[in-house]
Amino acid sequence: MRVLALLPIAAMLLSSCAGGSFEASPPLDGFVKKYSQPFLNRAADELEALPADSAIAVMIADYGVLRKQIGAVK
C-alpha cells in the first residue's frame, strides 16, 4: 500500500524529465495552496487505503504534476 503513496512522487519525478517550457500570463503567486504537514499525512494515509486500481490515485498523481509545473513557473 505504500506504493500508492509514492505515485504522486513518481509522477513528479518523471515530469521533470520532460523538456520544453511554457509561460503563464497571469501571476501565479498564491495560486498553489499550501497544506500543513498533518493534513498531508492524513492525505497519504487515505491514499494508501484506496484500491490498487483506483482512478482517484491516478488523478492525485496528475494533480501533483500540475502543482510542480505551477511551482516551476514562479
- Three-class HEC string of 30-53: CCCCCCCHHHHHHHHHHHHCCCCC
- Tell me if 7 sits within 8 A of 55, measured CB to CB: no
pLDDT in tens, 30-73: 667 888 999 999 999 999 999 988 999 999 989 989 888 887 66
| CB 74 within 8 Å of CB 29 | yes
pLDDT given at position 10? 61
1 pLDDT higher than 60: no
